[in-house]
Structure 1
């Protein structure tokens, strides 16, 4: 299989399936397309009809786009791997918070974008962004209290992959978190697959000016 992604420093959506596949040892070829270039969209359109990353090219040549669809496809194809919780109620909960991440938190996305290289402590703290942070903090604490950690539903899974880029944002912008949420963010940062993504991101030398400036 092939996974089409953008810059590891900036592309939060690309991070989600990449980290999931790395964690579960699913082999794939990485196709990286630099974002913010004149030919970016044309390059991605060779693989994805939306012109956006990520896109999974399966071993039978099918294109799967949107991170949630990619991860659902992986969960079907690798059913032996516990990407979703085995318990039905926990699985429904995990799907709900993953869908909430996919569809929501627009203020956080706008004001605290992903830039792993950067450090913008205390910036981007608009009321809307802080409301999103508070919701995420509460959501994480509820999962950790209910399922006992160390990850949201016990073991690392799709829900954690969905929130991994949020942790990258929090590491850059440093909003205030409760101690349980902050401890979870540290554990997720230290997960081997996440560390592998961070290491690759730190080696990139492709700055996008818009993401490098914070007033």
Structure 2
């Protein structure tokens, strides 16, 4: 199979991150097509329509079969048709992993709205809203349940799966906003963040061009920026 994955900025695009991390983690060959977000949304939509019927990312193109798959969950299910390792082999673990991925796909609105992804920043969160705290508590509950039931180190057992890829942006958000999960859940977040595929995405995002004022503002929301890793990386390169 020859796949092309269309994505947006690695600094911001949590939806793009999920299938990209999965493809990398499972060593599935693909060509990356990066389309930087634009300040003007109407211009961006028009540009994205050239490769995506919804004008959104991610969008996977199966060049062999001339197929276009334009939703992150649909992408992983499409990949699973040819790569069984996308999901756990055990029936119960596979069901749990699918439930976890679907919950991330449709839920956790507070953490999406209040803690937008920005891999390069470290931000002082302050006191979470009630809605955000509920999301944080649910993440801890879900991660602890998966580790307890299936033994880890990943959310549904010994092997990295699509469910882990779906929570990779959550691991990034936890680092950006200093969100701490207790016990096995916190250990899982650290392990997920340090996965080589996740780190490859984060490292690219830190030095990526195309920083957008609207995306930075959406992430910061008037809070204190503690560190910009992009600036630090430039200083490290210069030996300062």
What band does the TM-score fall into relative to the shorter chain?
A: over 0.9
Q: Is the 8 A contact 2:60 2:70 kept in 1?
A: yes
Equivalent residue in structure 2 for 1:28, among 30, 36, 48: 30
Q: Once structures 1 and 2 are overlaid, which stretch shifts more, 138-147 or 114-123?
A: 114-123
Match of 1:74 in 2: 79
Separation in structure 1 between the aligned mates of residue 165 and residue 119 of structure 2, nearest angstrom: 16
Counterpart check, 1:118 vs 2:160: no
Which of 52, 58, 73 is equivalent to 1:54?
58
Residue-by-residue CA offset, 1:14-60 (whole Å, 9 max, x unaligned)? 00000000111111111111113443212211111111000000022
What is the deviation of 1:189? 1.0
Whole-angstrom distance in 2 between the partners of 1:124 and 1:86: 41
Q: Which residue does the alignment assign to 2:10? A: 8
* Cα shift readout 1:94-127 (whole Å, capped 9, x = no counterpart): 1111101000011110001100011113247221
Instruction: Give the superposed CA RMSD.
Output: 1.3
TM-score, L = length of structure 1: 0.95
Q: 1:90 and 1:164 mapped to 2: Cα distance?
A: 19
Structure 1 residue ranges without an equivalent (≥5): none
- The reply to whether residue 45 of structure 1 matches residue 56 of structure 2 is no
Bigger shift: residues 119-128 or 88-97: 119-128
> Residues 39 and 213 of structure 2 are in contact (CA less than 8 Å); yes or no, is this contact kept in structure 1?
no
Q: Answer yes or no: is 1:89 the counterpart of 2:92.
A: yes
Give the corresponding residue for 1:130: 133
Aligned residue pairs total 213
Cα deviation 1:160-212 (Å, max 9, x = unaligned): 00000011111101123113222111111111111111111111122122332
The answer to whether the 8 Å contact 2:125/2:178 transfers is: yes
Q: Is the 8 A contact 1:4 1:33 kept in 2?
A: yes
Q: Which runs of 5+ in 2 are unaligned?
A: 223-240
Q: Distance in 2 between matches of 1:46 and 1:37?
A: 18
Report whether the alignment pairs 1:102 with 2:105: yes
Contact 2:21-2:198 at 8 Å conserved across structures:
yes
Contact 1:144–1:150, Cα closer than 8 Å, also in 2:
yes
Structure number, greater radius of gyration: 2
Kindly report structure 1 stretches of 4+ aligned residues shifted beyond 3 Å: none
